[in-house]
Structure 1
Amino acid sequence: MFSRQAPVSSHPAAVGRDSRGWQLQVWVSFALAVSLCGTGLAWLPGQDLDRAFMVMGYVFCLTAVFVLSKSVRDQQSTAAESPLWRLVVWGGFAVAMGLTGWGLLRMNISETYKAYLGVSWLYLVSSAFTLAKTLRDAHEAALAQARAEARAQLRRDLQQGQTSDSQ
């Protein structure tokens, strides 16, 4: 039996990517959040121990955000993570947020200053989630494009091999 092959395109399929405007907005937002938090912590009245606690809390929250983002994204594509790993990831995020919030609330500073630090901290966490997603999307798009280009090259090579065999 004769089977007809569909024509093979030499152009790989387009891979969806975030716009440069979106990427710029995400990075500017994250930088602004870091700046606001840094300014608030640099001018934090009170004891150095309070400032050190808050810096550690903010850094702990940032790392927990990136780990949680990766874990949630990985879980969508595969179920390779164990329940204990999910407990560690979600627990770490909850502990980071809880301890930082507790530290902020127990500080002996004005309510206005607590509000500034709290809002800038939540902005930092929110923008870090968005940054993590944007970075992961860019990485996955680059992988998808590389796979598409490799498939297209393989098809071209196969077509050239078929053409030279028929001659």
Structure 2
Amino acid sequence: MTSSNYASSAPVSIRRDTRAWQFQVWLSFGAAVFLCATGLAWLPGQDLDRAFMVMGYLFCLSAVFVLAKFVRDTESGSNDTPMWKPVVWGGFAMAMGLTGWGLARMEINVTYKAFLGVSWLYLVTTAFTLAKSLRDRFEADRVQG
């Protein structure tokens, strides 16, 4: 039996995230959403600034999930159209850059800017973790069939 035949007949080991980890991922994401929503709801200044920041946060959140899926699909050998890579990375860069620019240019207290900035980055990192956890669960369920 060749090594390739052996590898294909070997049982597949499926590692699943623990319930504690899943709980922590969802709790962290929920906390980040809550902190961002609280910061944006109480954002001093003009309504236009608040609307811009809400759109920026949602743009970043969407871009994170698209980028996470793209990276995971690329790792597994999925082929996309040649322009998809710059669209995904460009969208993520634009979302982060424009939101950061909007936050930096706002005329609000520096402490409030720091709160919004940290909660925004917390949202982005927890969204990447959530995307990975959801994809891991999907793939484990698909293998177990």
TM (norm. structure 2) is 0.90
* Partner amino acid, structure 1, of 2:134: L
Q: Over the residues paired in the alignment, what is the CA RMSD in angstroms? A: 1.1
* Partner amino acid, structure 2, of 1:124: L
SS in 2 for 1:82: coil
Give the unaligned 5+ runs of structure 2.
1-10
CA distance in 2, matches of 1:104, 1:29: 23
Q: How many residues align?
A: 135
Corresponding position of 2:7: none
SS in 1 for 2:141: helix
SS in 2 for 1:83: coil
User: Structure 1 residue 83: deviation in Å?
Assistant: 3.0
Following superposition of structure 1 onto structure 2, how do residues 1-167 of structure 1 map, counting pairs within 5 Å? Answer: 15-146=14-145
CA distance in 2, matches of 1:52, 1:66: 22
* Partner amino acid, structure 2, of 1:118: G
Q: What percentage of residue pairs aligned between the two structures are identical?
A: 70
CA distance in 1, matches of 2:63, 2:129: 14
User: Structure 1 residue 130: deviation in Å?
Assistant: 0.1
CA distance in 2, matches of 1:90, 1:33: 23
For 1:82-110, what per-residue CA distance to the aligned partner results, in whole angstroms no more than 9, with x for missing partners? 33100000000000000000000000101
User: Structure 1 residue 15: deviation in Å?
Assistant: 2.3
SS in 2 for 1:103: helix
User: Greater Rg, structure 1 or structure 2?
Assistant: 1
CA distance in 1, matches of 2:12, 2:126: 31
TM (norm. structure 1) is 0.79
* Partner amino acid, structure 1, of 2:61: L
For 1:4-56, what per-residue CA distance to the aligned partner results, in whole angstroms no more than 9, with x for missing partners? xxxxxxxx855211000000000000000000000000100000000000000
CA distance in 2, matches of 1:50, 1:94: 20
In structure 2, relative to structure 1, the CA distance for the partners of 1:13 and 1:20 (3 Å cut) is: same
Give the unaligned 5+ runs of structure 1.
1-11, 147-167
SS in 1 for 2:83: helix
* Partner amino acid, structure 2, of 1:103: G
